[in-house]
Amino acid sequence: MSSTVINQNVVGAQSETLPADNQWPLWEVFTQSEQGAPHEHAGSLHAVDAEQALQNARDVYSRRGGVISLWVIPSGAITASSPSESGPFFDPGADKAYRHPQFYKVPRGVRGV
């Protein structure tokens, strides 16, 4: 119940901040291709509510097969990093090779890495 209210607030807030284009609220769609696999971003669509977003996602993104689960999320609920901050956000890790798993040799005999 509370999540519904939150979603509506988010969508409401979003429609106030975005230019009015007479479009229904935007939703982001995530699809899962097999059990245990991550839900991956597939695209976005317009819908007036969560049920319609789910149905539209099914029709637009899953009908050609390969999908076993769908998530839809109001686009306004996503907090994204800003492109102008990508330097401070991401660059510090780039020159520290030991932070990457590839830096370490995997011992022979270890499987599933």
Partner 1 sequence: MTSPAPSVVPAPPPKPNALLEYLLRLGDDRLILGHRLSEWCGHGPILEEDIALANVSLDLLGQATILLRMAGEVEGQGRTEDALAYFREATQFRNSQLVELPKGDFAFTIARQFLFDVYDVVLLEALTTSSNTELAAIAAKSLKEARYHVRHSGEWMIKLGDGTEESHRRVQTALDSLWLYTSELFATDAVEDELVRAGVAPDLAGLKPKWEALVRDVLQRATLTASNDVPRPASMRGGRSGAHTEHLGHLLAEMQIVARSHPGATW
Nearer to partner 1, 45 or 73 (CB): 45
Paired residues of 29 in beta bridges: 43, 72
**58 near partner 1, rule: CB under 8 A:** yes
Q: In the set 56, 67, 74, 76, which binds partner 1 (CB under 8 A)?
A: 56
CB of 33 to partner 1, least distance (A): 20
The one among 6, 37, 60, 78 contacting partner 1 by CB under 8 A:
60
String of contacts with partner 1 for each residue 11-50, x by CB under 8 A: -------------x--------------------xxxx--
Q: How far apart are CA 94 and CA 36, in angstroms?
A: 30
Q: Using the rule CB under 8 A, is 72 a contact of partner 1?
A: no
Nearest to 49 by CA among 82, 27, 18: 27
The binding site for partner 1 (CB under 8 A) comprises 24, 45-48, 51-52, 55-56, 58-60, 63
